[in-house]
């Protein structure tokens, strides 16, 4: 399936995910995001770590000023506050040490770092405020005057805020000696935020490291077809060389060709260590470490065994027959390269003609293998002195009879002369093809016991292959490509609809991306149709399992009984959104409560981002408090591929009315991250600056004297000019 094979590759705004990933690598770090285009710079996102150190939940922090005035206290340094205001107004990088207070009024020393975030137009749209708890580094200061009665920590808070160099020296005093310069540079990097390492707030295609190949790029597609051709070459030549002993140390041309093939397969192993793959969730995995571990756990051993230089072992051909035959048989291990075709079969199945050719090639390949085995049996019987085998009869018919000579090396007779290698192979292939497609013509027949046993086994295998491949080719193709056919049929219907109604190109591309990404997530399965197959009790169990992330992560559902959870789960619906999709429009009725399972969204009011919502957030309206249906005061747009679990207002109120005990717990514990009904009142920074510039311009304009502006004076002035 192309959508699933290609993965989710549409441009996404992964800014929030990148910041969360960087913050999670440093457990003591917390951060806020604030809108830089609105007066007072309101907070649009805060992570869980900030909620833990501050004591406030996310809903209480949202829309407050990023200056964190709600955490100021009497000992918060006024000079530091002024420096923070200046940094925000001038949109520059800086860091400060500041004393703030938790919700329970506990003092807290924090290292605050402020970094402006730019969009694709190089405009600062967000502020990233990173906090580090440095309370442990702030040692109490002893004072000679103990009459004040103030605690040591209060005296410390009143002291002048220390500079960054003092803080770094304190870090170095508490950390072990760093002799390695790389560790020192890491510490310096940890203490600073550079513009070149900050991600931008914009949509961009998934990035991969420069040494990583995309699994769907044109080069990789061509390379896979080359590997397919070389795999069939190996599957043909290896059995032929082993059976007919075609390749010897004197045959330089074949040795060179096989060596080149081995090198190409070894290069393929190296490329597999640097090629992305599609993860279980449809995402494109480009992390080099994850790619290497995935390949090592899957196909690396098989690929390595198929690339070993078995031609080196062929030097034993001139030694004892047993050892030479053993190392010659090791060449068959190269047939493991067929595993490359198996794991890339989904790519070849996209094309019906390619699938038909692969089936025919496989049928011919089996016939080729059986022909090589048939020749080996005839040669073995002839070497053992059986003069009525099919190979001996062929020699007599072609008037190229075999003869024996005494070998001094082996002290046994050796078979010489006989038909040419080409004649023997064509005859063997002719026999296997006639047996696989019919009952045979009898001109080449099994004579010895070994030949008859092999022929019986071959007929059984051939009957199954013939019935499967030729008798049910249409059925096999339909079964193997049913999902692909359904997928292409859906895409064709969407394309025809867009063409018929002349949908704009931009909107058409969004629709196509949504259809492809939704197919990648659902595999074309209709969840409601599958659930309707099950009885009510089983359906409820499945729904609880599908919504387990919502029930486990949100405290509002902890006191719900099993019956209550089952009733809620039956009414939850799961939806998938592509980047750029608008989930709510301004003025639209708010009839659902939405829980974000994966991805990130942005809430836009008056063309400004007022909130960024991520995994675990809840948005909608507090239906259980206000019975009237509200209207959305903002737009909600997806930044990345998002999975949402939603429940309709009527269904939620129906469950809450029935389970009164749970209703009280739900209303008390559910934290609505953003209420779409509430309209925020704010002024834009650009408008304030424009008003200041206009006021300054009016102030500098010269004031006209009323006497000079009098009507009579204007008439006399005009009369003088006319004279």
The pLDDT tens digits for 631-657 are 999 999 998 888 899 999 999 999 999
Residues 337 and 234 sit within 8 Å (Cβ to Cβ): yes
Residues 541, 633 within the same domain: yes
In a domain, 316, yes or no: yes
Q: Between β-strands 608-613 and 582-584, what pairing exists: parallel, antiparallel or unpaired?
A: unpaired
Please indicate, yes or no, if residue 9 is contained in any of the structural domains. no
DSSP-derived letter for residue 330 is G
Q: What is the pTM of this model?
A: 0.56
Q: What is the H or E stretch that residue 416 is in? A: strand 412-417
Tokens read off for 75? 């000992």
Lowest mean per-residue pLDDT among 229-243, 538-552, 608-622 = 229-243
Domain assignment of residue 5, yes or no: no
Last residue of a domain, one of 471, 489, 504: 471
- The parent domain of residue 591 ranges over 532-675
Average pLDDT over residues 421-443: 85
Query: Any idea what the CATH number is for the domain that residue 460 is in?
Result: 1.10.287
71 and 126 in a single domain? The answer is yes
Does pLDDT of 520 surpass 70?
yes
- Answer with the one of 349, 376, 394 that is the final residue of a domain: 349
Q: How many domains does the chain have?
A: 5
- Kindly state whether residues 653 and 587 are assigned to the same domain: yes
Which one, of 85, 64, 70, lies nearest residue 682 by Cα? 64
The per-residue pLDDT for 311 is: 64
Work out the percent of the chain whose per-residue pLDDT is above 70.
Answer: 75
Among the listed ranges 88-97, 174-183, 312-321, which one has the minimum average pLDDT value?
A: 174-183
Pick from 95-109, 239-253, 332-346: least confident: 332-346
Structure tokens at 345: 């079969």
Q: Is the pLDDT of residue 330 over 90?
A: no
The confidence score (pLDDT) of residue 221 equals: 79
User: Mean pLDDT across the stretch 159-177?
Assistant: 41
Beta bridge partners of 671: none
Residue 99 CB: number of other CB atoms within 10 A?
24
Q: At which of 675, 690, 713 does a domain end? A: 675
Q: Do residues 150 and 112 both lie within one domain?
A: yes
pLDDT exceeds 60 at position 269: yes
Looking at the DSSP bridge assignments, the partners of residue 439 are none
Contact (Cβ atoms closer than 8 angstroms) between residue 230 and residue 261: yes
Mean pLDDT of all residues belonging to the chain:
78
Count the neighbouring beta carbons within 10 Å of the beta carbon of residue 590: 21
The whole-number average pLDDT for the span 14-19 is 76
The answer to whether residue 299 scores a pLDDT higher than 70 is yes
Whole-number pLDDT of residue 476:
60
The pLDDT of residue 489: 83
Q: Is residue 42 over pLDDT 50?
A: yes
pLDDT(140) > 80? no
How far is the CA of 550 from the CAs of 150, 643, 645, 667, in angstroms? 48, 11, 8, 16
Q: Residue 710 is encoded by which pair of tokens?
A: 């009098």
Same domain, 629 and 496: no
pLDDT (0 to 100) of residue 427? 92
The pLDDT, as a whole number, for residue 198 is 58
Residue 512: CB atoms within 10 A of its CB come to 16
**Domain at 563, CATH number:** 2.60.120.10
Residues 512 and 459 in one domain: no
Q: Which of 125-129, 180-184, 282-286, 508-512 has the lowest mean pLDDT?
A: 180-184
Does one domain contain both 212 and 314?
Answer: yes
- On the question of pLDDT at 394 being above 70, the answer is yes
Judgement on whether residues 237 and 380 belong to the same structural domain of the protein: no
Could you list the beta-strand ranges (E) of 353-411.
402-407
Mean pLDDT, residues 187-215 taken together: 60
600 and 661 share one domain = yes
Contacts for 460 with CB less than 8 Å, ≥ 6 apart: none
Are 454 and 384 part of one and the same domain?
yes
What is the per-residue pLDDT for 605? 92
257 within a domain of the structure (yes/no)? yes
The pLDDT of residue 191: 38
Reported as a single tens digit per residue, the pLDDT across 548-573 is 999 998 989 988 999 999 999 999 99
Residue 612: helix, strand or coil by DSSP?
strand
Q: Please tell me the predicted confidence (pLDDT) of residue 428.
A: 92
Rounded percentage of the chain residues whose pLDDT exceeds 90:
20
CA pseudo-torsion sign 147, 148, 150, 156:
negative
pLDDT tier at 687, thresholds 50, 70, 90: confident
> Per-residue confidence at 484, pLDDT binned at 50, 70, 90?
confident
Residue 718 in domain: no
Summarize the confidence of residues 299-308 as an average pLDDT. 80
**322 Rama class: left (phi>0) / alpha (psi -120 to 50) / beta:** alpha
Which pLDDT score, from 0 to 100, does residue 335 have? 64
Q: Are residues 428 and 445 in the same domain?
A: yes
| Selected residue with higher pLDDT from 633 and 309 | 633
pLDDT at 304 > cutoff 60: yes
Same domain for 344 and 255: yes
Q: What is the pLDDT of residue 200?
A: 62
By mean pLDDT, which of 14-18, 159-163, 197-201, 420-424 is the weakest? Answer: 159-163
> For the chain, how long is the longest CA-to-CA vector?
145
pLDDT band at 619 (very low <50, low <70, confident <90, very high): very high
Q: Quick check: is 159 in a domain? A: yes
Residue 413 within any structural domain of the chain: yes
Judge whether residue 181 has pLDDT over 60: no
> Closest Cα partner for 678 from 720, 638, 642, 626?
626
Exposure of 193 by Cβ count < 10 A (0-12 exposed, 13-18 middle, 19+ buried)?
middle
* Averaged pLDDT for residues 130-147: 65
77's CB contacts (< 8 A; 6+ apart) are: 98, 99, 157, 160, 161
Residues 6 or more apart whose CB falls under 8 angstroms from that of 350 comprise 2, 484
Q: Is the pLDDT of residue 165 over 70?
A: no
Answer yes or no: is 217 within a domain. Answer: yes
Mean pLDDT of 154-177: 42
pLDDT at 701 over 90: no
Strand partners, 114: 94, 129
Cα gap 461→406, rounded to integer Å: 40
pLDDT given for residue 242 in this prediction: 80
The stretch 190-200 carries a mean pLDDT of 48
């Amino acid at each position: 399936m192309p959508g699933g094979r290609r993965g989710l590759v549409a441009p996404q705004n992964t800014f929030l995910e990148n910041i969360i990933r960087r913050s999670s690598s440093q457990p003591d770090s917390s951060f806020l995001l604030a809108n830089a285009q609105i007066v007072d710079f309101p907070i649009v996102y805060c992570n869980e770590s900030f909620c833990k150190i501050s004591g406030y939940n996310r809903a209480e922090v949202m829309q407050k000023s990023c200056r964190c005035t709600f955490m100021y206290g009497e000992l918060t340094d006024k000079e530091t506050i002024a420096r923070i205001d200046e940094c925000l107004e001038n949109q520059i990088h800086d860091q400060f040490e500041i004393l703030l207070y938790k919700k329970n009024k506990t003092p807290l020393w924090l290292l605050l770092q402020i970094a402006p975030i730019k969009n694709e137009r190089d405009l600062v749209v967000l502020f990233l405020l990173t906090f580090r708890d440095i309370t442990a580094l702030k040692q109490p200061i002893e004072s000679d005057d103990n009459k004040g009665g103030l605690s040591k920590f209060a005296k410390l808070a009143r002291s002048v805020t220390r500079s960054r160099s003092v803080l770094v020296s304190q870090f170095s005093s508490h950390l072990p000696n760093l002799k390695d310069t790389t560790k020192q540079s890491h510490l310096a990097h940890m203490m600073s935020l550079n513009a070149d390492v900050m991600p931008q707030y914009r949509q961009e295609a998934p990035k991969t490291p420069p040494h990583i190949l995309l699994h769907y790029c044109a080069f990789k597609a061509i390379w896979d077809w080359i590997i397919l051709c070389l795999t069939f070459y190996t599957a043909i030549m290896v059995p032929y060389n082993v059976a007919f002993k075609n390749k010897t140390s004197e045959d330089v041309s074949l040795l060179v060709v096989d060596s080149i093939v081995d090198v190409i397969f070894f290069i393929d192993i190296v490329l597999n260590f640097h090629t992305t793959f599609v993860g279980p969730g449809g995402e494109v995995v480009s992390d080099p470490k994850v790619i290497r571990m995935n390949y090592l756990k899957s196909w690396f051993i098989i690929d390595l065994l198929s690339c070993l230089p078995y031609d080196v072992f062929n030097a034993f051909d001139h030694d004892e027959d047993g050892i030479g035959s053993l190392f010659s048989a090791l060449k068959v291990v190269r047939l493991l390269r067929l595993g490359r075709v198996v794991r890339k079969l989904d790519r070849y199945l996209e094309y019906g003609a390619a699938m038909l050719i692969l089936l025919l090639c496989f049928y011919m390949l089996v016939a080729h293998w059986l022909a090589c085995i048939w020749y080996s049996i005839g040669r073995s019987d002839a070497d053992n002195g059986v003069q009525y085998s099919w190979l001996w009869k062929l020699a007599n018919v072609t008037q190229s009879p075999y003869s024996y000579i005494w070998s001094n090396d082996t002290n046994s007779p050796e078979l010489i002369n006989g038909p040419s290698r080409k004649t023997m192979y064509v005859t063997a292939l002719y026999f296997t093809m006639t047996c696989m497609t019919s009952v045979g013509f009898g001109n080449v027949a099994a004579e010895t016991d070994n030949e008859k046993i092999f022929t019986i086994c071959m007929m059984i295998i051939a009957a199954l292959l013939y019935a499967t491949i030729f008798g049910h080719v249409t059925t096999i193709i339909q079964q193997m490509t049913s999902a692909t056919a359904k997928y292409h049929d859906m895409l064709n219907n969407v394309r025809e609809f867009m063409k018929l109604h002349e949908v704009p190109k931009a909107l058409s591309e969004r629709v196509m991306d949504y259809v492809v990404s939704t197919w990648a997530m659902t595999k074309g399965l209709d969840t409601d149709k599958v659930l309707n197959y099950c009885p009510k009790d089983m359906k409820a169990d499945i729904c609880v399992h599908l919504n387990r992330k919502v029930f486990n992560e949100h405290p509002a559902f902890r006191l719900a009984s099993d019956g209550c959870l089952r009733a809620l789960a039956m009414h939850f619906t799961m939806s998938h959104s592509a980047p750029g999709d608008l989930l709510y429009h301004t003025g639209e009725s708010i009839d659902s409560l939405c829980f974000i399972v994966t991805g990130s969204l942005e809430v836009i009011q008056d063309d400004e981002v007022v909130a960024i919502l991520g995994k675990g957030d809840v948005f909608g309206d507090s239906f259980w408090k206000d019975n009237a249906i509200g209207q959305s005061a903002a737009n909600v747009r997806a930044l990345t591929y998002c999975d949402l679990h939603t429940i309709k207002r009527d269904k939620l109120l129906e469950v809450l009315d029935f389970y009164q005990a749970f209703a009280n717990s739900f209303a008390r514990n559910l934290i609505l991250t953003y209420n779409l009904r509430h309209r925020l009142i704010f002024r834009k920074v650009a408008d304030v600056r424009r008003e200041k510039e206009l006021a300054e311009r009016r102030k500098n304009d010269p004031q006209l004297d009323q006497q000079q502006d009098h009507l009579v004076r204007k008439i006399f002035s005009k009369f003088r000019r006319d004279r």
